[in-house]
């Protein structure tokens, strides 16, 4: 079967391009919509399935985790050589090509992948989306698509798509626009074509909207989904859809390095494990239509139903993912979505007032001040708009993506200017007053200002303190650990009594002297992670634990002194969402759509479930109400 690829880029713009190498002319390569007008919601491929003419031999690489010079770098070079020498007609990558998703890693691994002498395609994994320094834009620049890819081979149509999480630790989620894309692609399946899904995450409880994804695949007649992420070759049952696994390149402890071979027949697939330098061995053979061994495997239960009535008000469902908080000004809300749309929404009238579209997703929470709405863009730059009309007031270009939140103080905006720098900007003119270049990594969390000092963390392992007036670095601190994954890059520092308090992915609470940066104490008795808050009187520092607890620390003490710890009833928890304190109550949001309210004495007032995805941020409106957004595009109000 001839191999071609169809890519959907920039919303509804279609472009046709071939993978390397090209083995067929472009004519007829598109997944046409010949059958889109059929009344039956299933595709033609789901209705008639003549057997594919030949066996399709596929090399399936996933979770290769290449960093220049690491062990997987060498292993992958060996694997590419083996793939080139094999009888495979196609190479599929299931994501997690890199460790941090940095531009350097993506450029490097693409160079290695380009040495393949077979057609190949890839999706992104969570290691490309969670810590991306470009807001996931570099992947598209290098690979020519944003992770959505359709590829025909051997009577099969492979549909690959992303699952996040996007720009922070959270559970996976398939974007609304990607589900729509799946439907459009499947509608163009040729008669007899069998469709196979490709998603880095398994379609189970680790995917917050798995029920919607599985329902979509079933409606489209898709009976099998390739996945990675778990690093091992375990079959899975996704509510009747066969989960076809790929193993990690380096292997799990005690395993030899290797990869996966898939042999697609007319109605089944054979899964073989291929250790590097050794013969392959068959691990599973799966029928692609109602295999009893798949149906006998357990399925994850559906998520709990929402129970927020009486505590919160469900106001808005966006048409795409929402990865920002909502800026508030009067009756107006301002937020951005995964399609790059900045929306101005009138909550009183229940309608959109204006919008501005950027080329890429928005990750920074819009700031509303002095009649302006200010936002940073993953496509680059800081932008200010008239809050009432949406007219652009000023634009400050940046060399790289802006993905971090900013802070307004009087007439100045303090915000990350992309990779390796932060700046102070005059609010009225957009003029850059100073710029501090620290080197590498995004400053993603909102900075904090006190006593003329600006404190922020970055994804380069460091916490910085600058003179807010001049931008001069006063001190910097790190936890002594070498890995960037443990950086304080997505945390809001809290300052009280001349001390700085943070929690980071290193699972410790750290207290530093604001004047000098000297570490005063550090405690890891609880598994703290990224979420921080400060009491209304500054006497207590709040943090969330990975066991679903909210803890309070006395800010006046010379050592870690916990005043209370309240179980929120959430279990395992790691969502990064700054806590908000209002009228003596602390509000926190979880990874699975939960919100809890805890009185500042530690009393749990209530804990509810709003939806299934991670909370992004709380913002307080002029009338005192709180607004919180969730990744699946829902906006809620707390009166």
526-543 exposure pattern, b = at least 16 Cβ within 10 A, e = fewer: bbbbbbbbbbeeebbbbb
Question: With 70 as the cut, is the pLDDT of residue 384 above it?
Answer: yes
* Degrees to nearest 5, angle at CA 485 with 480 and 487: 55
Per DSSP (E only), the strands in 488-620 are: 494-496, 499-503, 509-513, 519-523, 528-534, 540-545, 549-554, 562-567, 580-582, 585-589, 594-599, 604-609, 615-620
Rg of the chain taking only CA atoms, in angstroms: 25
By percentage, how much of the chain surpasses pLDDT 90?
Answer: 91
pLDDT tens sequence across 401-435? 999 999 999 999 999 999 999 999 999 999 999 99
Residue range 56-295, CATH number = 3.60.21.10
Half-sphere exposure of 329 (CA within 13 A, CB side): 17
Cβ(595)–Cβ(576) below 8 Å: no
Per-residue pLDDT band for 12 (boundaries 50, 70, 90) equals: very low
pLDDT at 391 over 70: yes
CA 368 → CA 8, 61, 130, 208, 406, distances in Å? 34, 46, 27, 31, 11
Q: What is the pLDDT of residues 68-83, one digit of tens each?
A: 999 999 999 999 999 9
603-618 mean pLDDT:
98
Q: Is the pLDDT of residue 381 over 80?
A: yes
Domain with CATH 2.130.10.10 in the chain: 313-638
How high is the pLDDT of residue 472? Answer: 99
Q: Look up residue 336 and give its DSSP letter.
A: E
Q: Position of tokens 């006063």?
A: 474
Tell me which residue has tokens 């990744």: 631
Q: What is d(CA 157, CA 425) in angstroms, rounded to the nearest whole number?
A: 50
The model's pLDDT over 139-192, given as tens digits with 9 standing for 90+, comes to 999 999 999 999 999 999 999 999 999 999 999 999 999 999 999 999 999 999
C-alpha dihedral sign at 414, 415, 416, 417: negative
Q: 71-85 and 103-113 helices cross at what angle (nearest 10)?
A: 20
Mean pLDDT for the chain overall: 92
| pLDDT score at 42 | 30
Q: Where in the chain is the domain with CATH 3.60.21.10?
A: 56-295
pLDDT, residue 26, reads 30
Residue 38 has what pLDDT?
Answer: 30
Name the band, by pLDDT with cuts 50, 70 and 90, for residue 483. confident
Q: For residue 85, with 0-12 CB atoms within 10 Å meaning exposed, 13-18 middle and 19 or more buried, which class applies?
A: exposed
Give yes or no for residue 19 having a pLDDT over 70.
no
Structure letter (DSSP) for residue 29:
-
Note the pLDDT of residue 355: 98
CA dihedral 131, 251, 574, 591 (to 10 degrees): 90
- What pLDDT, on a 0 to 100 scale, did the predictor assign at position 4? 32
**Of the candidates 347, 360, 345, 324, the residue with the CA atom closest to the CA atom of residue 615:** 324
Burial class (CB in 10 A: 0-12, 13-18, 19+), 164: buried
pLDDT score, position 54? 74
Q: Specify the CATH class of 313-638 in words.
A: mainly beta
Q: What pLDDT score does 162 carry? A: 98
Band of residue 13 on the pLDDT scale cut at 50, 70, 90: very low
Q: Is the pLDDT of residue 24 over 70?
A: no
Place 628 in a pLDDT band, splitting at 50, 70 and 90: very high
- What pLDDT is stored for residue 41 in this prediction? 30
Give residue 17's pLDDT: 30
Q: What share of the chain is helix, strand, coil (3-state, %, to 5)?
A: 10, 40, 50
pLDDT over threshold 90, residue 572: yes
Place of tokens 């989620």: 173
How far is the C-alpha of 16 from the C-alpha of 1, rounded, in Å? 18
CB crowding 185-220: b at 16 or more within 10 Å, else e:
bbbbbbeebbbbbbbbbbbbeebbbbebbbebbbeb
β-sheet with 341-346: strand ranges across? 327-329, 332-336, 341-346, 351-357
Do 409 and 449 touch, CB atoms closer than 8 A?
A: yes
DSSP calls for 429-447: T--EEEEEE--SS---SPP
pLDDT in tens, 573-602: 999 999 999 999 999 999 999 999 999 999
The two structure tokens encoding residue 494? 């809290």
- For residues 392, 398, 399, 405, the Cα torsion angle rounded to the nearest 10 degrees is -110
Mean pLDDT for the stretch of residues 293-310:
97
Number of residues that make up the chain: 639
Given this model, what pLDDT does residue 40 score? Answer: 34
Local confidence band at 85 (pLDDT 50, 70, 90 cut-offs): very high
- The answer to whether residue 92 scores a pLDDT higher than 70 is yes
**pTM reported for the whole predicted model:** 0.91
Q: Is 363 helix (H, G, I), strand (E, B) or coil?
A: coil
Least confident span in 3-12, 321-330, 549-558, 625-634: 3-12
Classify 484 as helix, strand or coil.
Answer: helix
Provide the pLDDT confidence category of residue 46 given band limits of 50, 70 and 90.
very low
Q: What is the pLDDT of residue 1?
A: 36
- The mean pLDDT of 388-396, rounded to a whole number, is 98
Instruction: Report the range of poorest mean pLDDT among 46-55, 273-282, 334-343, 561-570.
Output: 46-55
Task: Please check the confidence at residue 565 and state whether its pLDDT lies above 80.
Answer: yes
> Is the confidence at residue 238, as pLDDT, over 50?
yes
pLDDT confidence of 524, banded at 50, 70, 90? very high
């Amino acid at each position: 079967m001839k191999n071609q690829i169809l890519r959907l880029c920039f919303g509804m713009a279609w472009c046709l391009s071939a993978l390397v190498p090209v083995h067929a002319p472009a004519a007829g390569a598109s997944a046409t919509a010949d059958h889109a007008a059929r009344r039956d919601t299933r595709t033609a491929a789901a209705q008639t399935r003549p057997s594919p003419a030949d066996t399709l031999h596929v090399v399936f690489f996933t979770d290769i985790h290449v960093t220049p010079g690491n062990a997987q770098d060498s292993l992958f070079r060996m694997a590419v050589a083996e793939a080139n020498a094999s009888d495979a007609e196609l190479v599929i990558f299931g994501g997690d090509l890199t460790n941090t998703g940095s531009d350097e890693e993506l450029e490097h691994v693409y160079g290695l992948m380009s040495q393949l002498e077979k057609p190949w395609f890839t999706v992104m994994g969570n290691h490309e989306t969670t810590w991306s320094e470009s807001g996931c834009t570099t992947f598209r620049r290098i690979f020519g698509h944003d992770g959505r890819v359709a590829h025909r081979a051997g009577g099969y149509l492979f549909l690959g798509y992303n699952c996040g999480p996007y720009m922070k630790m959270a559970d996976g989620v398939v974007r609304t626009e990607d589900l729509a894309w799946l439907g459009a692609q499947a509608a163009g399946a040729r008669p007899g074509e069998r469709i196979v899904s490709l998603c880095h995450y398994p379609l189970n409880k680790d995917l917050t909207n798995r029920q919607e994804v599985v329902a979509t695949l079933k409606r489209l007649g898709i009976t099998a989904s390739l996945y990675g992420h778990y690093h091992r070759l375990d079959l899975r049952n996704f509510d009747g859809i066969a989960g076809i696994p790929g193993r990690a390149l380096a292997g799990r402890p005690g395993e030899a390095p290797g990869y996966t071979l898939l042999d697609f027949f007319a109605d089944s697939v054979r899964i073989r494990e291929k250790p590097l330098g050794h013969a392959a061995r068959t691990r599973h053979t799966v029928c692609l239509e109602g295999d009893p061994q798949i149906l006998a495997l357990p399925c994850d239960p559906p998520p709990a139903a929402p129970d927020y009535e009486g505590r919160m008000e469900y106001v808005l469902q966006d048409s795409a993912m929402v990865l920002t908080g909502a800026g508030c000004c009067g009756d107006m809300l301002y937020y951005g979505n995964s399609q790059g749309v900045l929306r101005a929404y009138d909550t009183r009238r229940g309608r959109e007032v204006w919008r501005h579209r950027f080329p890429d997703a928005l990750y920074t929470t819009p700031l509303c001040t002095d009649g302006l709405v200010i936002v940073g863009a993953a496509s680059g730059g800081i932008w200010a708009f008239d809050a009432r009309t949406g007219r652009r007031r000023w634009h400050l270009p940046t060399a790289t993506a802006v993905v971090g939140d900013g802070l307004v103080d009087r007439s100045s905006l303090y915000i990350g200017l992309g990779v390796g720098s932060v700046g102070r900007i005059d609010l009225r003119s957009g003029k850059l007053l100073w710029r501090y270049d620290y080197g590498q990594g995004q400053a993603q969390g909102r900075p904090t200002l006190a006593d003329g000092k600006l404190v922020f963390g970055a994804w380069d392992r460091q916490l910085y303190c600058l003179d807010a007036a001049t931008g001069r670095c006063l001190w910097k601190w790190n936890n002594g650990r070498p890995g960037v994954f443990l950086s304080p890059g997505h945390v809001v520092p809290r300052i009280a009594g001349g001390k700085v308090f943070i929690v980071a992915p290193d699972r410790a609470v750290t207290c530093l002297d604001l004047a000098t940066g000297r570490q005063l104490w550090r405690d890891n008795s609880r598994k703290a992670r990224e979420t921080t808050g400060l009491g209304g009187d500054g006497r207590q520092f709040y943090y969330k634990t990975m066991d679903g607890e909210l803890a309070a620390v006395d800010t006046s003490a010379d050592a870690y002194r916990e005043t209370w710890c309240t179980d929120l009833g959430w279990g395992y928890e790691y969502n990064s969402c700054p806590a908000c304190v209002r009228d003596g109550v602390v509000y926190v949001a979880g990874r699975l759509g939960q919100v809890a309210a805890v009185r500042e004495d530690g009393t749990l007032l209530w804990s509810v479930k709003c939806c299934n995805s991670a909370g992004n941020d709380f913002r307080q409106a002029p009338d005192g109400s709180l607004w919180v957004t969730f990744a699946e595009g829902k906006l809620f109000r707390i009166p």
